[in-house]
Amino acid sequence: MTQDGLEGNIVKYNLFKIFTKRVFLPLITIHLTLVGKVTLEQLGIIASVTALTQILLEVPTGYLADRWGHKSALVLGSFITSISVLPYIFMPNFYGGLIASVAFFAGASFGSGTMQAFMHETLIGLGRESEYTKIMAKAQSYGLLGNVVLIALIPLTYQIDKNLPFILGFLCAFVTFILALSLKKPDVKISEEHIKAGFISELKKSLTKPAWIRLILVFMIFGVVSASFDKVITYRELIFQDLGVPIKYFGFILAFGSLLAALGANYIHLLKKLKPKNFYLFDILYVSIAFILIGVLRNPILSILAFSLFPAYDRTRSIIFESQIFEEFHNSKYKSTLVSILNFFAYGNGIWIPLVLAFGIIRTNIVFGHFIFGILILAISIPILLVHNFLQTKNPPAQG
């Protein structure tokens, strides 16, 4: 394995991030309802089944990726996501929409955690492991900028032909399949003990019981905060409307948020300089205090700024959590599985968090409900962090 080949993986990953999103995403609902006569109830069924699929497949596919090989899983996953676009072209009805959505997230689950593990091993092979956070964040920046352009332009072709955006979307997805095929597999040495060990037995050898608990607590913090970022945008536009922000500015606000996310990704690695426990505290305070201020101050400028900064931070913060895991389990054979479990906690918390937020909004109002939600996140997350810090003092992170 040559160093040049591995350096090429970094370039290909940057391109992969650009084409990995569904560039026709804004058109899916419109296409299914107008062309396929799909009802609102059926759209709800598609969303629910898809969410269940995502939760159920996240960890098993990560484990299979570790067993089969990360490149093989990436090739399979990108192929499935490519063909998942075809039902929108040839079967734009309820069943086609269901198949397309489920297939996309099934394919994406093979890449969730797997690409991160593959790139970490690439950087180990290059002797650049310490640059993981910086390189992954820069790729995220390229991906966001490229995707903003594609998602802005490709939907415009819907006026020319209703299938054209989906044909172009298929071609974009197929690019990721070609890129996955062309990746160079890094030659990372794993001890015979690690190769033979199963996932649970490997963790037992790497971690004491207090460290096991500490790792789960980190996953819990990540899950609660991730779901808070992800699900709270459900009511974003309603908050803007309640605060008097004209609807005509909503699109500009979203574009501004994407631009900040792309720019901010280049600097997210600076947070890696914080000690893990300090970073976890920052992670909790960032989301909870923002919600509290939105609810207390009822200021439209502050709310716009907060919701614009959320994606700028949220879309890259997971890189730091992944980096912490990879550092602690440097020689692990199951890196993809570990990241998949991390993501699973986010998806799991995404089930109850929207319900709690909705409850607070219904009992008060759209803005003050977010204040209550911010207090709740603090009340849940800070005790978890305190227990984590206590266990870390008693049992420092294991290496390898």
Q: Which residue has the higher pLDDT, 82 or 125?
A: 82
| Residue 3, pLDDT above cutoff 80 | no
CATH match of 3-188 with 1.20.1250.20: yes
- Phi, psi angle pair for 2, to nearest 5°: -90, 155
Taking alpha carbons only, the member of 323, 338, 333 closest to residue 120 is 323
Same topology between domain 3-188 and domain 195-394: yes
Taking alpha carbons only, the member of 215, 225, 213, 219 closest to residue 350 is 225
So where are the chain's domains?
A: 3-188, 195-394
Give the sign of the dihedral formed by CA 205, CA 210, CA 216, CA 222: negative
Q: What ranges in the chain are assigned the alpha helix state H?
A: 3-19, 28-34, 40-68, 70-83, 86-90, 94-111, 114-126, 132-153, 164-182, 192-196, 199-206, 209-232, 236-242, 250-264, 276-297, 300-328, 335-363, 368-394
Taking alpha carbons only, the member of 218, 216, 367 closest to residue 290 is 367
CATH of domain 195-394: 1.20.1250.20
Pair of tokens at residue 316: 């890259």
- List Cα–Cα distances, 395 to 213, 381, 384, 385, in angstroms: 11, 21, 16, 15
Give the sign of the dihedral formed by CA 10, CA 11, CA 13, CA 18: positive
Pair of tokens at residue 142: 């390229």
pLDDT, tens digit, 9 for 90 and up, residues 240-279? 888 888 877 776 777 787 778 778 777 887 888 899 899 9
Q: How confident is the model at residue 6 (pLDDT cuts 50, 70, 90)?
A: confident
Taking alpha carbons only, the member of 279, 259, 260 closest to residue 269 is 279
Tell me how far apart the alpha carbons of residues 380 and 375 are, in angstroms, rounded to a whole number. 9
pLDDT, tens digit, 9 for 90 and up, residues 213-229? 888 999 999 999 998 88
Contact 81, 104 (CB under 8 A): yes
Report for 235-239, 300-304, 315-319, 395-399: range of highest mean pLDDT: 300-304
User: In the predicted model, what is the mean pLDDT of residues 89-100?
Assistant: 94
Pair of tokens at residue 164: 């054209």
> DSSP label at 164?
H
The pTM of the full predicted model, rounded to 2 decimals, is 0.81
Q: How confident is the model at residue 400 (pLDDT cuts 50, 70, 90)?
A: very low
The pLDDT of residue 168 is 94
pLDDT, tens digit, 9 for 90 and up, residues 29-58? 888 988 999 888 888 888 888 888 888 999
The pLDDT of residue 197 is 59
Contact 307, 249 (CB under 8 A): no
